[in-house]
Amino acid sequence: SKVYVLGGLVDESIHKMLTLQRAQEQSLQTARLPIREYMVKAVNTKNYHSEILAINQVFDVLSTYYETRSWPSALKAGVSSGKGYVLPDAVKE
């Protein structure tokens, strides 16, 4: 019952929340992926953690969620461990 428009503004400089701000100015409903709710920060040598995903990764997450109706499965499919986030059960291994 929803249409998802994937994208963002690509620029050499970082303008945090700019796409969100533009959507709110136009009274568009927005959403973010529930990375914080289903994943945990993994210990890594660079202490690097990023929730910023490429468009193809977002597409992978949403299409897997559509197929499985499982956020853990969907996030595992689209969020690489290089982003610094893993599912809680991966930490125990």
CA distance 20 to 32: 10
Catalytic residue among 1, 2, 11, 45: 11
Respond yes or no: is residue 60 known to be catalytic: no
CA distance 70 to 22: 30
CA distance 22 to 7: 12
Instruction: Show which residues are catalytic.
Output: 11
